Structure 1
């Protein structure tokens, strides 16, 4: 299957009430395991990819290491591959995206946080970046699925503040759509009423990341979520299990 066919097929997997389930992986081996389960797409997670190479999350891993990981994954599986691009790994965002596309990626996550700070990129600047990334994909003939992530809820640990953030989230969603985004990712949002409100409002597929306080997958499906991901949880749980086994054996 061609890269463009994978890209178009991946986009079609995002449907309200029938979401694509992405069990985030970190290397070629974990990607192959997920492919064997009957999954329809492969998604990396920045936290897991970094940790697997001994780095902290937040673009501390060099882009060259991420690119090598993506190249190995793409050459090891046949499913559509979406990559956690964080904020683009420095100033050479367009060149970095071009390299990921050449490696075989058909989707990316792009964050609006200011790396290392507890604040968000201004909407005009974030939209400018999204537009540039869309142009890079178009120049390579790839219908790239740009999953525009907002950290507005993730940065507000007190979930009681989330209702007051909805207007800003919706404003960002619409602006990101106009700038070329394909989907809207709202990690940290866990209130079922707010998730339903966002899904009903959004013309873009909404991505929710599950954790200990989000509704179960069945309820997220009913609420209208189009994409469900699990973030670093698989890696964290696997490493905890590995540590437990090692401690028992030593």
Structure 2
């Protein structure tokens, strides 16, 4: 069910410091991440899609998205944000309906991306979402993701400018935050953070500056993206491969049955 306290708290988490989001992909990973002290849970669209047997990239049936949201909301007690890719539709009214349904399930944040589409489309989606939520007294933090860096939508020398142009449009439409995956250079991060009042979210990359520097540069949120899900797939692949080859348990770190089972006991 909607939780106004969670919504307000999730907004406050973007006000100072760097909110670290270790993106989950199902109820089990979300509960594990919460147990490690995460102040909020957000999903990775790639991990969610893979865990349900679909490719990433708006391939997930939207009913599967609602199912994942309900499953995670049942087991965690911290604010929950869902990656909704492009909203699983090009129709702003349809996207708004999806977000309202997520909010009614207890979701208090979304990531919504522009992808390769014109910025006007994301603006229309954001505005319609805000209208639909306000009409129902619901609050969802919209984190507008621009793929200028991730998809190379502008030449390198124009990317900061292009991001800030889109950020201004998305802010006017009503977004609450700005997500710029793919940006890693300190000067670019500083310029983007200084050029918009929106809380800036960047995504984990090996070449990204360290956490304390990111905070000084103006970053307010750091997302792991699909990194954890990718690592889990690789780890399970190694373990299963070793087992299938010689029927033995591979020598690798693992939690005990009891430790895992205890995460899902009565809360």
TM-score norm. by structure 2 comes to: 0.86
**Residue range with higher mean Cα deviation, 46-55 or 88-97:** 88-97
> Residues 7 and 142 of structure 1 are in contact (CA less than 8 Å); yes or no, is this contact kept in structure 2?
no
2:107 aligns with one of 101, 105, 108: 105
Cα distance per residue 1:186-207 (max 9 Å; x no partner): 0011111100111112201000
The match for 1:116 is none
The match for 1:47 is 46
| SS of residue paired to 1:49 | helix
Query: Does structure 1 residue 72 correspond to structure 2 residue 71?
Result: yes
> Residues 4 and 141 of structure 1 are in contact (CA less than 8 Å); yes or no, is this contact kept in structure 2?
no
The match for 1:14 is 14
Structure 2: tracts of 5 or more residues without a match: 245-267
Larger radius of gyration: 2
How far apart, CA to CA, are the structure 2 residues paired with 1:235 and 1:128? 31
Cα distance per residue 1:172-230 (max 9 Å; x no partner): 10111111100000001111110011111220100000112222223212211001101
How far apart, CA to CA, are the structure 1 residues paired with 2:204 and 2:110? 19
Higher RCO by CA contacts (8 Å cutoff, separation 6 or greater) = 1
Query: Does structure 1 residue 234 correspond to structure 2 residue 233?
Result: no
Q: Find runs of 4+ consecutive structure 1 residues off by over 6 angstroms.
A: none
> Residues 96 and 129 of structure 2 are in contact (CA less than 8 Å); yes or no, is this contact kept in structure 1?
yes
* Residue 144 (structure 1) shift: 1.2
The match for 1:184 is 178
* Residue 2 (structure 1) shift: 6.3
How far apart, CA to CA, are the structure 2 residues paired with 1:24 and 1:141? 27
The match for 1:216 is 210
Aligned residues between the structures? 241
**Residue range with higher mean Cα deviation, 133-142 or 1-10:** 1-10
